[in-house]
Structure 1
């Protein structure tokens, strides 16, 4: 029955089972011995015995194949059966307990919770350890203070609940002296009540006490069940002063008239002052957290911003002018200073920006630049700019050999119109004629300007005589045909013409001849155009001006030129110690003639120098008289005087002869006269300033080409032309112009004088605008200056 193959199948299988069954108990024994705190340990032991018995049973099955020991095999199987039953019986009650045990996933969750709780406990323990360490340190400090109070440089006191001073170290002496007590004596009642209140509360309290100019921060520390309070002080005077300084700085920034804002290192705004809100339109809440890009106008080049950031990131201060934009898209200009703010280690932590709103100032400067070249009333070129451009054009015309036509015209009977209808209508006529001239001249290369008063000049390049006459007639006809409801009569002009280069090749030649041609047009009946002819000069000479020349020469011969003086008020102290010397001519019939009657003729016939010399000599003599010493006099000089190299020598001689104080002499020169030959004018001024005389630039603002001439001439005063002062109370532009002139003059160390001050209102305005002196009928009218 037992075939060899079947036999060995049983034998090998049983042997493998035996080996496995014997190894399992060994593993269980190792596990149980290693894991001492194992639950249900005895169950693992029983299970090991059961497995071992099963292995022995399989071993006996192999053994009985060759050795029939069936009784032994039976006993072993019986032992196996018993162990199996016991294991099974004991196993079933353990099943519920085993099921109630947590699963591996549940154990992981519990473990994670335990780890979190452990971390929290560690943090709590660390905080507790820190608090304990701080308390120990504080206790140690208190012990040191208590142990060595006499060595403490700060006040240390012990005061009983009843107010008795139990102890006070040397540093507490000033406080005890102020309280009027010493050790063993009671402190003032208010302090005693404070000590009692703190002891009853058993809580530390800090109180600041003042001793003369020092401030102490005192810590009152009650000692339980002792009946006293320990007091430890520290001098905080420097800290409080620093806080006061910081508060002052903060207040200054808050109340500054400039825009101030602070950003972090990345340019994020952290602070803005009230002026920032007023100018930009952004509230503090809206600006904080933003960058200055919200103010960008979009017109500033990127290169400027790159330069700005490159400068401040290197720790340097950047200065410049920026054009910004408000929240409401209004542009404004500001002088800007951006400075890095560094910490103690030199690291940049913030940027401080301070900006001055210069929008109005810049507008004034632009206005000044414009008025330096233009006539304010008509917006045409002013006299000096016209002459400059005309001279340039003559130069280019000479090189290109191009002809041209110069015209000069004035409005017929304009003086009578002004006298009869007032300056308001006269100004309206000037503006109307200006518009008509602009309309008549379409050529962009033509030059048009107002020379002054009712005189206008036109230069038409690249046209010949025939075209010039046609254009002149067209201008005359348009003005004659002009009608306006504001002007109750017809206008007409007298127009003179000269041809370049036929009638001359220089500015001086052409202006002299065109002026003669214009007067010839007037003599021929007005309202006409007249081309210059050679005989016009002769006709001009034999005209009434020749008679005036004789009258002037006779007045000089008879010594009939008189000195009148008009007071000039110093607005700083409301005193008059300065006068302007004015020329008056007494006619043969005894009447007084104003300069307007004789100055033009005197200049035309080169006798103005003689008139000026007589006025200068008389003024210096009158200045030297008793009662006038200490007073300053301004004396007018003509343009011809400036071009006379001998004139300074005459003035030096007159000063020497009369004994007048040169420091009290101010010579007035006009803008137009000075800029004709600026180098000679500067030389003239320098010659007389070297002996102490001073200079004033008269009629400033009507034709001046550049503020740089002020520096070149080195004048001490400028007199703002009366056209800007007359209606100052009703003309905002004039106010801006006058303020700008006063500001620039002050910056250059030059005093400003306002002419034609004829009312209290005007006086108040010029004071507000920063003008230094006032002259006009409201201050005082010209009066004869006699011995």
Structure 2
């Protein structure tokens, strides 16, 4: 989730419904709202103390607490939190009064667009203040961190001023046979170099001090006090020590280790088939690029390059032969880009390029060069000549780019526009014209889904991701996830491509029934094979509101002779709040069928645990925004711990999804979370072959 869109909001309002209405306005604007509510000054003080919000929305027409009192309470908390006054009536006198009371702005209750603009402005101010504070803190802590790193570094590091040592770390002292720093202070650096390298060393230092050295490294023979020598590679860098300018010298004694480390670091970023960067590294670089541009850096662009008619290529020369074609395309892309660009393989036959510092025309020129190179190239695959073309989509990275995911989505949409227009062309994303392409894409997916459902699910697939216990339960639990098969490539298409179209077309109820029916068949087959498998299945709002769903489910379970406890149904917390009556009926019916019930995205609402008084949920799936950056966010850790503790006291089990690293796993175990799910364990797969016994954390 985009952290810039996560916002903690305190609404000071007598009516909980009015508070939720304001939160809904922000959610509809794309914010992931973490809400809190206060009806009096005591509630305001408690909210400010427990978890300071990013902003406060205060009803200005309340009798108590008065807007001025709320503003004073916020100021007294020591946090610079903007207070936005909201009221039914809007006139100049009330605006002036609110601003004088300390409010950042005044908004009419019915003016949702005005509220969103004010919120966006104030959140940007908050972000900038926090960034400034972080910079100051980082500056204050930098010397402490550098000193600690210097002392603990395995590399030998020294600081030299006018040819004399002024400081060195323990590794440097050990390398040259000194026992104490005082022995080294004032010793010329030249005494650490073998006499045969003296002249070369002095020439390099003179050139380095004038900024004329070729590179910053020098390989020579180091000299110990006992006269023995050893091969050393010195790396020089300008530095300061205790406020004085000097030169930092880093010495690596074993060059083979350094080369191996460099090679391993490169391989972790590399796609092994093509030699380009891999998907993960590209996403990291794109995230940094977007942040840099937002911070005032030069704009750039993202190119999405899709090989046309790749299915035909694969059918013609086979999988191994098509891999050779992809390698050729990757080589052509590498030839076209500059050293500053980041070319990567993003999917089976999709490549991306982060083109740094390029505007629209330069990006289009690069896209056209890549397109032309691919068109003119002929691959030799086992004596067979293979020619292909490419569709190139371009999206610009500017100061108005909200997130890395959005600019990547625009580039993918632009590539789709180029492909559907016949391929072998370059298309720059245009929000106006591409909107029509979006409507056409909806129509395409709607037709695909309706055809697939009419043909008994032809073209639909389920993939499975394990849900693993952190506390010794070795039972088989998977979440069943829907995919479609791309008609051109045979690849599995993720649901983000087609489910939004399904929702807009009113097809989600039928899609849910296909998924549930297929899950029941799979559970029945697993049972016959001797496996006690439990599948978690998501339900849409359409199924929650469908009075015929429960009778259909009961009949389907009866037909397959499957016990209800083999299925656990998930409903998003936001849907449960919106359709509380229907969700209560669904949960009650599922319990009668002995099926499990899960609240998904738990913790994202205004009062999540209050919802459990109405819904007998067996599992709570913690909202993914709390799991993102868990290791680096104390706030997220506290939120997860709070949810886990409260769930345990109420007899509910917790699941943390989107777990991507070992650090998060360890924290979740310490927090008392019951189950985990995510790519760290296994990416979704068509097989149900996960070894629960080996991976369960007891």
TM range (shorter): 0.3 to 0.5
Query: TM-score of the superposition, structure 1-length normalised?
Result: 0.37
Please state which structure has a larger fraction of its residues in helix: 1
Larger relative contact order (CA 8 Å, sep ≥ 6): 2
